Structure 1
Amino acid sequence: MSIILGLAVSAALTGATPMGSPGRWLTDQDYPPDARRRREQGAVAFTLLISPNGMPLKCNVTRSSNFDDLDKQSCTLLMRRARFTPARDIDGNAAHTYYRGFMYWSFSRPTPLVYAPDIDLQVDKLPGGAKEKTVSILVQTDLDGHVVACNLAKSEDNEPKNLVAVACKEAATMSPMPVRDGDGRSVTAVRPLKVSFATALP
């Protein structure tokens, strides 16, 4: 299977971007009363399936806060308030995509969390003598979930091209990742992936 590197074509994959600040998706008034009374707090990791018109179609909790009220309220608010500038495929068409993030329920300033890499790679060396490096890429999948295009995420424009090429090549070897829309039909999609590189221990 051939991989189209976005760095070498006229158009490139782009991910969905929130319209407005995601910080406005949650306010103090949204805290479930019973959870507030019980002093329940925690972080909810979520994944939204975003339609080509920028609307969320599905919300999945990928890491629970350990409190049902907080998990359910997170998805309720995200489905109601989250809106996006659509992702674009390699031809520039609006596409289905995923958006991942965290919603924090806390009575004090929370410690920000990050998503674990989707792919972990071990290499002999990295640019600049670094020991670890994470590269964010976007892949386009066909109806069967196979990767048909790949490029660097726009926010990572300065990453070394050789790391991007390796990350895209590795993404192409992953098991198929079919995406289904709100009606359960297979669709082509743009998916964000994080690829972690680490040098081998001496």
Structure 2
Amino acid sequence: MGGERSMFLVMALLAAQAQDVLPVTRAKPRTTTPWITNDDYPAADARQHHEGTVAFTLQIDPSGHATKCDVTASSGYPGLDNGACFLLMRRARFDPARDASGKAVASNYPGRFTWRLGKAKPTRTGVDGTAGSKAPPPPGMLELAVAALPATYKQPAKAEIRFGPDRRVIECRIEESSGSAAVDKVACAQLRSLEDASAGSKAEAAEYIVSFRADPVPRP
């Protein structure tokens, strides 16, 4: 009986401790303006009349930025899935979740977006102002696990890589910093190690969003 009571007290204590660190308020979007509209329709999918709903979960850091986007239910088309996550990572901003003490904490934000073609010819506004079939494709997504992240890390890095005649990466340029020069360097190092990253494409360059997550190495 004494052992059972002790176990109960330990479980109650652990539950209380867990409750202290769990968010008591959820992350809330900072604006009611839609993050994605039909003007963002991926051109290739629009031409092929692809439609579908993407379910996603965003990981939100204490500053209210999205650090990762996971597709939890696919639309059935990679272009629509990747397009939604790319736009969410770049545009979504939140008032962060807070714990019982009022401190901002990391949290998750689930959602859904439906790509649906209207009667009007769909276009996609590109980052360079072009639209439709002339718009650049969404950047590739690369996620890296590291033992720890520096305090200066604020967001995924955006980089452009260029290919040589053999389709291997010969140059990497950071377009939008992660906030940490060391993290940016790791991002480019990983992108440089890609082999034939543009397989099936004749493009001379490509853009990537490189996100990081802290995944400490377990002790033996």
TM-score by length of 1: 0.50
In terms of Rg, which structure is larger?
2
TM-score (norm 2): 0.46
**Greater relative CO (CA pairs within 8 A, separation 6+):** 1
Question: If each structure's strand is expressed as a fraction of its own residues, which one has the higher value?
Answer: 1
